Amino acid sequence: MMKKESNTKSYRNPLKGWFFFRSCGLLVLFCLALSFRLSAQDVTLKINLRGVYESKITLMPLTGANAMKSLAEGSGIKNNETATIVVPKDKLPGEFVLRFDYKEKESSTPYPAEKRIVISDQNLELRVNPLYSGNTDSTYFQKGEKENALFARFSRENSKQREKVALLQGFLMNYDDTQSKFYQQGIEEFESRRNKYNQWLKEQVVQNKALFVSHTFQFQHVPQLAFKGTEAERLQSMIGHYFDDMDFIDTLMIRTTNLPDWMNGYVNIYGSMSTTEQLRDSLFILAGKRAIEKAKTGHPKVYGWMVDYFYKGYESFAMQKGTEMLRQYIDDPNCLTSKRQEILKRFEGMQKMKKGSAAPSFNAEMIDGMKLLFDGVLKQKKYELVVFYESDCSHCKDLLKELSQWYSVPENKVWFDVITVALDDNRKTWEGNYQKNKFEWHDVWATGGVNSQAATDYYILSTPVIYIIDKEMKVAAMPQTMKEIETFLNN
């Protein structure tokens, strides 16, 4: 929820359904209505706007199911006015982005600016000039603010503490005479400074354990490195020590942006060793198993987060063997994954929708509002190519662009009749893209989007998904790329 003081205005919170008003008299009633919620440890964030004519202000969480989606927003906030956001306790503690779409002058075009902040259990007051949102002289919290002040202090000191360690590491990684006494002395000095730095990190965590920000410090840990040996041996050393000193008991780590970034770094080490797509897939599956086994020794929520992380990764790469590997963890009652039902449904789909399975018929809407029934392949075609997609999915856009180019070749049309099925949440999103796409085939919208009967029957949990259906209305193949479609035809 957001409200604006001085000609009081409240703004709709998309998640809570609170309403909009302009009357100062209503402000008293509104605050009384909120008194119960505020006593339940919600936090208020007051933003005093400076230096611009007006701005729209949006608050977005950086983690969780609604990451980068508006939690509260308000427009028309003028210079020297104060907007107040009530942040629900179930979103706290956490990292957020404040977005300002501001006008310097009344006639100006809105221009964006962003500021990342941490919100925990302390009510906040922020004076901000969107033109200088990163300048502490122009944008700052009230005196006594804790979380963001600690983050700023730690960042400054950490940069100093880490600098010499990083310099030594860079030197040792690139030094040409690895057998020299000088090189050995460099390794010993690195180890000494690395240990001192890591000890300093631990002390900072202990000293500031009451604050949420301290739960991000452990991600700065410098692991042990094997400087001698081949590049492959160094990578294996990095993998072997990547999780050293990581506290998987700490459930607040899953509320940080550091954890997914840190895990991306881990997976990228495996990716750097792959030379083929097949090797990449096997390495990513190995990375998942090792990481999940580590997290399994910690808190069930962290264990579950790790399973969710790899599930999303495997699905985005259409890595079915990776998803299958997760079955052993989904069956573990100690794994508190937030995607258990989705993953179980995925397993069910993998069993039911495979080569040789009966392909369900389905209805979808055409652009003119008429219904299209898919219940068989056209007589003059050999197969039906059915592609489920979403308009805002980048992988889908790439695939459909490739498909459109391939299908524009006359001889390729002999093989397939094509239906692309949009699974957008609302029809207007699909309609907006329909005219831009101008496909040569039937492009339809499944009523209900991802919750439509077609998506349910075909077990669509992520997009894009491709099915090749034969004349007997059976699944002939489930290719993942245009290359695999061509391979199917050539065989």
Q: Mind listing the pLDDT tens digit for each residue in 315-346?
A: 888 788 899 999 999 999 999 999 888 888 88
13 & 64 share domain: yes
| The predicted structure's pLDDT at residue 436 | 87
Residues 176 and 155: beta-carbon distance below 8 Å: no
| The predicted structure's pLDDT at residue 228 | 81
485 & 367 share domain: yes
Which tokens hold the place of 305? 């987060």
15 & 139 share domain: yes
Residues 57 and 77: beta-carbon distance below 8 Å: yes
Is residue 357 assigned to a domain? no
Rounded to a whole number of angstroms, the distance between the first and last alpha carbons of the chain is 58
138 & 7 share domain: yes
Is residue 434 assigned to a domain? yes
437 & 485 share domain: yes
Count how many domains the chain has.
4
378 & 484 share domain: yes
CATH code of residue 20: 2.60.40.180
| The predicted structure's pLDDT at residue 319 | 85
259 & 230 share domain: no
Helix, strand, coil percentages for the chain (3-state, nearest 5) = 45, 20, 35
Number of Cβ within 10 Å of residue 105's Cβ equals 9
| The predicted structure's pLDDT at residue 5 | 52
How many Å apart are CA 201 and CA 198, to the nearest integer? 5
Is residue 356 assigned to a domain? no
> Over the Cα atoms of the chain, what is R_g?
27
For the chain, 491 residues long, give each residue's pLDDT as a single digit of tens: 555 555 444 443 433 322 222 223 223 323 333 333 333 489 999 999 999 999 999 999 999 988 999 999 999 999 999 999 999 999 999 999 999 999 999 999 999 999 999 999 999 999 999 999 999 999 999 999 999 999 999 999 999 999 999 999 999 988 888 889 999 999 999 999 999 999 999 999 999 999 999 999 999 999 998 888 788 888 999 999 999 999 999 999 999 999 999 999 999 999 999 999 889 999 999 999 999 999 999 999 999 999 999 999 998 887 888 999 999 999 999 999 998 888 888 888 878 888 999 999 999 999 999 999 998 887 778 899 999 999 988 889 999 999 999 999 988 888 889 999 999 988 999 998 888 888 999 999 999 988 899 998 998 888 899 999 999 999 999 998 899 999 998 88
Query: Which of 218, 245, 272 lies at the terminal end of a domain, its last residue?
Result: 245
CATH code of residue 398: 3.40.30.10
Q: Give the max Cα distance, the chain.
A: 80
Put the strands of the sheet holding 54-61 in their side by side order: 72-78, 54-61, 94-103, 111-119
48 & 131 share domain: yes
Domain coverage including residue 137: 2-143
294 & 316 share domain: yes
| The predicted structure's pLDDT at residue 236 | 93
Is residue 447 assigned to a domain? yes
Is residue 227 assigned to a domain? yes
408 & 477 share domain: yes
- In 3D, which of 354, 413, 357, 405 has the Cα closest to residue 383? 413
Contacts with 373 (C-beta within 8 Å, 6 or more apart), sequence order: 361, 362, 363
| The predicted structure's pLDDT at residue 411 | 86
179-203 pLDDT per residue, tens: 899 999 999 999 999 999 999 999 9
pTM: 0.78
Number of Cβ within 10 Å of residue 356's Cβ equals 9
Packing angle, helices 277-296 and 258-272, rounded to 10:
140
198 & 94 share domain: no
| The predicted structure's pLDDT at residue 358 | 92
* DSSP state for residue 232 in the 8-state scheme: H
DSSP E strand stretches across 139-269: 140-141
Is residue 65 assigned to a domain? yes
Query: Which of 143, 166, 191 lies at the terminal end of a domain, its last residue?
Result: 143
Query: Which of 228, 245, 262 lies at the terminal end of a domain, its last residue?
Result: 245
| The predicted structure's pLDDT at residue 182 | 93
Is residue 381 assigned to a domain? yes
117 & 157 share domain: no
Is residue 294 assigned to a domain? yes
